[in-house]
Structures are given as C-alpha cells and as structure tokens.
Amino acid sequence: MKEMLKGHLASAGYRIIDCGTDSTESVDYPDFARAVAEKVSSQTAWRGIIVDGAGIGSCMTANKVNGVRAAMCHDHATAVNSREHNDANVLTLGAGLLGDNLAIQIVDTWLKTEFAGGRHSRRVEKIMAVEQRAVKAGN
C-alpha cells in the first residue's frame, strides 16, 4: 500500500520523503513511526502519512513526539474530522484493514481538508497544553 500511495501522491505533485521500510520482513513499526513524526515535528515535512498493519501502534508512537497530532483514519468521515476538528498533521493507515481505493480516498480527503479553526482552535490548544505539561514534567 505504501508504494501505491507514494505513486499516487507523486503524480499529484507532492514531494515524498520515504522513512522506510523497504523490506517485506517483519520490522518494528515504532522506529518508522517515530522517524515520520520527527520529520513533521521539526517541520522538515508539512504532513506525515504512516502505513502499517493496523495503523494503531504507529498512531500511538507518533503521538509521543512533541508537536504531532496523529490520527488513525479508516474512512472519509474520520479523515475530515481529524483535519477539521483536530488539525491532525500525521495520518496513520492500516494496510491490513483498508483496500487501496479507500486508502486513496482517505489520503486525498485528509490532505485537502483544512483546519476549521474557531472553537476547534481552543481545543487543539488544550491538547498541546497537555503535551507541554508532560514535556515539562519529564514524562
């Protein structure tokens, strides 16, 4: 799925930074999720997309990186909500749960959906405040 999405996004004009893996062997997804999240956190990348088996573990890992708001999306509605309401900057997808056509729909929707701001800005600020308290506490 990753290679298919890379081709789709490249043909749409997006610049791709591939953080791996290129192997069909079992790997530790937290290593790759962290690499993507750190690209977004450091503003080396505008947004990040992570593909693993279910999308759950990568989402959990990415959300540990300062400044990252990762969302595991499984349909059009969750893609819209994660961007409009939560200003998600990392998308995780479960290749074992989604077909290619649905994955493309989710990615396209997620990339094109703008953050709504307004009352959602206040809520995102509160999310980030929780993160900052954890960072200051050394957690």
- Per-residue pLDDT of 87-119, as tens digits, reads 999 999 999 999 999 999 999 999 999 999 999
Q: What is the mean pLDDT of each run of 10 residues along the chain (139 residues)?
A: 96 95 87 97 97 96 97 98 98 96 98 97 94 80
- DSSP 8-state assignment for residue 75: S
The answer to whether 68 and 41 have CB atoms below 8 angstroms apart is yes
Centre a 10 Å sphere on the Cβ of residue 7 and count the other Cβ atoms it contains.
11
The token pair at 75 is 């349909």
Model pTM? 0.93
How far is 49 from 35, CA to CA, in rounded Å? 11
Q: What domains, with CATH codes, occur in the chain? A: 2-137 (3.40.1400.10)
Active site residues: 85
Residues near 38 by beta carbon (within 8 Å), at least 6 away in sequence: 44, 65
pLDDT of residue 71: 99
Nearest to 100 by CA among 37, 29, 51, 56: 51
